[in-house]
């Protein structure tokens, strides 16, 4: 298939492109910096700076992963606008492209995040659970609504509400590792907040599963079936690294340092991938210990 990917140069997108290339797909990647993106992408990937640059290429499927980084720095008004624009404008442009193509793509697999559900304590969350009402929850709703407009052109739309993506060379784990390796890791706030997580390899596998399964549309929780609390995650990571993790980071300190962005660290939802499991998707790494072992054993191999 000829597949158009936004965010293809990112932590998730670059591994997705590698896997799709290995499966023999033709890749069209949108990147603001094609030169820089090229180094991260498989040979023969067509890279262009704007979505409409691909109007002549007739993509048969689209994967939408572009977006300014959510868990990075304080959320000034300008940063919040960037978080919104980088997702909504990109998604609107993809829908516009679907309307321009002689033959619309078969599907649009579009990113979203666990933040869709907001702060939900230990309530079990499935795709039927209602959305939250804070900034990220509203952003995710707007992002999903924008993607769903592609259905007007007969495109199958699948929305992936992604949990914390784990792998060695990027994402949140790479940010946590220096402190944990020095024995300075610790729970964030109460540690009771849920952290739905997913091994990057499983996220790529499920995106491919959604690309290939013509009947699957709507929202899918993209996280492992066994979510853990922040305290459980902290214990598991420290144990894997054979380091203590006895220095909790107080809620107030995180609020002072990160402002509103601290919500991402201090709140969560016990998200379960109900629809993926009902659809027959099998996680390779359903348990956190397994995922961490794979990641760290691979690192030292």
In the complex, the smallest distance separating the C-beta of residue 26 from ligand NAP, rounded to whole angstroms, is 19
54 binds ligand NAP (CB under 6 A): no
Backbone angles phi, psi at 155, to 5 degrees: -85, 135
Listed ranges 63-71, 128-136, 151-159, 184-192: which one lies at the site for ligand NAP (CB under 6 A): 63-71
Q: Pick from 18, 142, 172, 290: which binds ligand NAP (CB under 6 A)?
A: 172
Q: How far is the CB of 37 from ligand NAP (least distance, A)?
A: 5
CA pair distance 54, 28, nearest whole angstrom? 8
CB 272, CB 227: distance < 8 Å: yes
CB under 6 A: which stretch of 31-39, 119-127, 186-194, 210-218 binds ligand NAP?
31-39
Is there binding between residue 107 and ligand NAP (CB under 6 A)?
no
Q: Cβ–Cβ contacts within 10 Å for residue 238, how many?
A: 17
Q: How many residues bind ligand NAP (CB under 6 A)?
A: 26
Residue 200 has phi, psi (to 5 degrees) of: -55, -35
Query: Least Å distance between CB 176 and ligand NAP?
Result: 12
Choose which of 17, 20, 27, 37 interacts with ligand NAP (CB under 6 A).
37
Q: Does 12 bind ligand NAP (CB under 6 A)?
A: yes
Q: Is 241 in the site for ligand NAP (CB under 6 A)?
A: no
Of 53-61, 123-131, 151-159, 161-169, the window that binds ligand NAP (rule: CB under 6 A) is: 161-169
* Nearest to ligand NAP of 183, 226 (CB atom): 226
Give the tokens for residue 2: 């000829």
Stretch that binds ligand NAP, among 164-172, 208-216, 224-232, 238-246 (CB under 6 A): 164-172
- Residues of this chain that bind ligand NAP (CB under 6 A): 7, 9-13, 31-33, 37, 65-70, 82, 86, 90, 111, 113, 162, 164-165, 171-172
């Amino acid at each position: 298939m000829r597949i158009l990917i936004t965010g293809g140069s990112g932590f998730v997108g670059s591994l997705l492109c590698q896997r799709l290339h290995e499966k023999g797909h033709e890749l069209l990647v949108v990147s603001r910096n094609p030169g820089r993106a090229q180094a991260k992408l498989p040979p023969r990937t067509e890279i262009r700076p704007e979505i409409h640059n691909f109007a002549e290429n007739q993509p048969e499927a689209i994967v939408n992963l572009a977006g300014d980084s959510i868990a990075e720095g304080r959320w000034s008004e300008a940063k919040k606008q960037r978080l919104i624009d980088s997702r909504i404008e990109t998604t609107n442009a993809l829908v516009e492209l679907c309307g321009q193509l002689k033959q619309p793509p078969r599907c649009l697999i579009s990113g979203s995040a666990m933040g869709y559900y907001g702060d939900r304590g230990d309530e079990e969350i499935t795709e039927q659970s209602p959305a939250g009402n804070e900034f990220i929850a509203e952003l995710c709703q707007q992002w999903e609504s924008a993607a769903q407009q592609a259905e007007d052109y007969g495109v199958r739309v699948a929305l992936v509400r992604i949990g914390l993506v784990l792998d060695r060379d990027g994402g949140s784990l790479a940010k946590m590792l220096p402190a944990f390796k020095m024995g300075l890791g610790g729970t964030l706030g109460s540690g009771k907040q849920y952290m739905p997580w997913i091994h990057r390899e499983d996220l790529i596998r499920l995106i491919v599963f959604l690309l290939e399964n013509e009947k699957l549309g709507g929202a899918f929780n993209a996280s492992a079936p066994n979510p853990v609390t922040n305290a459980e995650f902290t214990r598991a990571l420290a144990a894997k690294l054979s380091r203590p993790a006895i220095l909790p980071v107080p809620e107030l300190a995180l609020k002072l340092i990160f402002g509103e962005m601290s919500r991402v660290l201090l709140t969560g939802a016990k998200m379960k991938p109900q629809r993926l499991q009902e659809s027959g998707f099998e996680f390779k790494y359903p348990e956190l210990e397994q995922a961490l072992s794979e990641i760290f054993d691979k690192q030292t191999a």
